[in-house]
Amino acid sequence: MTNASGARSLYEICGPEYFEALVDAFYDGVETDAILMAMYPDGADTAGARHRLTLFLAQYWGGPHDYMEQRGHPMLRMRHGGFAIDAQARDRWLVHMASAIEQTLHLIAEPDRDSVVQQLASYVVNAAEHLRNQ
In a domain, 5, yes or no: no
Q: In the structure, how many helices (H) and strands (E) does the chain have?
A: 8, 0
Q: Quick count: other Cβ atoms within 10 Å of Cβ 26? A: 26
119: domain CATH number is 1.10.490.10
In a domain, 75, yes or no: yes
40: enclosing H helix or E strand: none
Question: For 44-73, what is each residue's pLDDT tens digit?
Answer: 889 999 999 999 999 999 999 999 999 888
Local mean pLDDT, 10-residue blocks, the chain (134 residues): 71 97 98 93 87 97 95 76 88 97 97 97 96 90
23 contacts 57 by C-beta, under 8 angstroms: yes
Its domain, for residue 54, covers 14-131
